[in-house]
Amino acid sequence: MPYPNEHACRLEDPGDFVRFRRDNNSSPHRIFGFKKGGGSAVQAYRYPKATWPVDKARAHCQDHDGSFEAATDVSKETRGGLVRLHRLLHNDWLRDGDDTLATSHLALVVEMQARGVPHFDEDLLDSVSVAESGI
């Protein structure tokens, strides 16, 4: 889940740990996870967006084989609504094959990207480009 003021990089599944400690004295900030049977590991990095540009944070995360999410100012409700609408457009297009939905879909994807909401679903509907749609 994206955070409003910092980019996130997950290195390990949080379910593998029983407790956590955050170190804000490092750059990027580190979240340590502690395992039930003993031992610890860096579970995640957090990059304050005021000091870590998204491209630099993403590159650091990739260098550490993590999964990256950019910070976003979108509320949880707005994000959920955009994702639900995106899935509905996919389902309607797959069911009806209505090409006018492709333009609506692309406009929605552009809005999602502008708000920092990830676009996960990839299928034929996603192959329509901005230039082709006239947006």
b vs e for 48-58, b when ≥16 Cβ sit within 10 Å of the residue's Cβ?
Answer: bbeebeeeebb
- What is the model's pTM? 0.56
CA atoms within 13 A on the CB side of 92: 13
Report CA 61 to chain centroid distance, whole Å. 13
User: Per residue of the chain (135 residues), what is the pLDDT tens digit?
Assistant: 567 788 999 999 888 888 888 898 999 999 999 988 899 999 999 999 889 999 999 999 999 999 999 887 766 777 778 778 877 877 777 677 776 676 677 777 767 766 667 665 554 445 444 334 343
